[in-house]
Structure 1
């Protein structure tokens, strides 16, 4: 019987967790369950049978994490593990009226693996299922719709009779780790005629998933809900879920009452959780489920804040941005006085870098909020993805929006200095493009009061075609403008001109005034992405006084800005040592404000 026929008059109960239950039974001696298909097949068979005896009508093969990147094994070894896992699951359902779904989980995406390699691996995993003549393929715990759609099409092309189940994982706010929101998942997946079911698994507990489901407009004949048992606690280096089978089962019945017809358990659930759900389903009156209108609940539209910086750029007016460095220490007096001066000069926006070069400074979002509060200026904090995980990044965005910040510059971030790497670790949950996509998804729920997203551009690229491709990806991801690394010669200006012409992106040309020969040498030899020509360095002498050197720096910056101005949409001044008076002198010499 097809799944769609089974759920016409009853709820399909799936099994519970394999990985966490396996870890519980083995007392945490094994970190992954999939290799046990070879080393401990009897235990895996017993787990499957325990779920079936508890009342599950669909079990998942123990193959979720079976891929070369997660298991750190050759593909031939992975293939043996998967084939054994499918055989064990089929053995478990012999003589029983149960479904077996071949489980394929997401492959982690380290930065050194190209998308085409990952897609090729997925196809090989699917091919193993086709070779074993599986009837159901379950793509579970995914975050990217485009990736799932590609796999669905591949499965249908090579196995048109296979039933395809697709489950995504979201946080309690309804977003996947790459920023896709729950509404978009449901909207796009329900339009995919090739899938038998779609829904959510893992990531959150039953109560949070129930809350999300209540806000969704879905097709009950296809909806799946497979939450975790709750949220784990760490005990003696193990992640442990509390025993809550009755509570979990009660909540799952409430999910069924919302019209969901396929339910089960993910991390932390055990045969006891499934048994409790089955007990309640035995007395559940399926016919009394009413058709519930689930139109997306909208908050009252927000009145958008006036964003003068955005307005000028979108109306093709020239803009001037000036960067101030957040302080190293607990003293903001210099940056505050500099911001007030820049406001008097008439600059359009003040930007704040986020601990460049991996050296700690005051948090850019907090400094930006403070300066906006004190001056009323438009601010542009940089959001660096090196130091924060997605939880902290989203928290920063919420705080920024509540602080009336509407402009953000998203950068992947400089590497941690080598001398700190033993103690300080980079995070990089996302790169600049994926986080731009994430913020764009958040923007879709903010009506008109959205973040105005910017990105970075290095004009001194070694491969212009790759740079152009990346800029277009940023544009597609939601970026509206770019700020460049400092430019000091015609080659940099020509590169900016080409990017602007080829991509149509708004670009603010970067200028970092030099203040001494030592400063110029440091930037050239030690600061990544900055190239200072010999003829520019030759303008400075070691014997110059501070004032003499600054005067040369002003002259060079004015000349460069004048030459750059026809080819950019604005200028972006990086203030050396927060010398705002130097930027004031440069701007007054230019006809830009």
Structure 2
């Protein structure tokens, strides 16, 4: 049957007129806030015996330079230098009568930085309002909310929204809520400073804060936030609690944390890379915006913007819709006819595969030899990762061609979104079809910062869901642009899943979207927590999609520690860690890891349709021993 096909380009959202500027910004994509102002002032040799807020009047070039650096780093929201610019805090320096002047000057400096950069309309200015503090004398009888109103009167006309930062007590929160009553149209955010249990020092926590907000008769906050706290790691625990208790967008701004003792030294752990690693976890949990508090610098924000924004853009990016008008649209090849692996999956048979990571050099001899061992052992397929942990290795496509031609065993080729545009990705998929590589696992990919080339840029035109949609179209004979490719490709479409994800709701949703997009089988991250896998299987049972469980045979206690702390999506239970620790020699530890892997397979075999065993550090013999 003949059809025409053309693309419907993605349109800009039709924003509801009732949405304010911050709501629109948060709805578009993950938003990057700036970092600390006070930290940057101190780095410029202004000491704490002076009012940092007054510098907006006396040394405006210093504050303007800080804003410019954050803009250059990629910040999409600048916060004003007004955290302590209320009459009570300024009064300690004899500056209470300059409250309005300092706040207006600070707001104008942030606005000037945005204007000079030509970013008006795309970068927002947030008016920072910190806690009032306690009165210095009995003569200070003004109410907290009246002090806040004075500051808001100066800030509100200039900034895009107000952010009440470091709210630590219900007293501070109540004062902020009372103050906003005087500004019926005010756009504002409430940001809390709590501990890892989402509580303050007096035991009040997110639940009590939420109760006060829900009973407040005035306009609701546009978003709520977490700032300061105990550093990136502590904030992750706070966020896990908060996202389950609110439907409002959440803004996360941790501080740099406390130094840790390491071999007798006190070391600050929050490097720019460390910060962005946790930022990715915040994003995966559903944070709508990420920035920094005390100790977080433009370098941290630059790394955050460079590594996180492309990932989130890929997830939010929608492929252009293809409207079929007249073209030779083909029926897809049935799963059972695509490949031997596809035939076994379609028949409900149990499958096995071994994951072999391609070498860093160009000599494929050992890779081919390992694949030959798999063939002789009766393994169904060899799984080939694509640049795991953002490493530079020989093309897995080249490895797949060599293995299939020289050994005669099928491969499962990973196809990663990180390194190529949709043009290059489609070229690779056509190459796979031409060379008979028909089993493909589509993954989003690790960000470049995890590897040896952190300066490299991730492309991420699409994520794994988008790439599955592209392959599904090609399996019907058309490419992303609606162009005929003459014959449908025969790809068996696989996707990854993480049963131990931090945000299981997100993982479940994305797994459903992958299957809806065309996924025909699922391979999980390495499984150590069996009950977690079973819970995930129960949740996705309605999808009726074959699931192959990943198994990693631990080779040492150090390897177990690495998997537990460094590999995203892998949970190693304490019981497993204890067993590995109890093994004495390296050989005993390797045998313990082997037994754990075998026990895991025995426990899950009846619930899955296959097992994929990784060959740790290229040890194919060990992987095959697991499957015996």
TM-score by length of 2: 0.46
TM-score by length of 1: 0.49
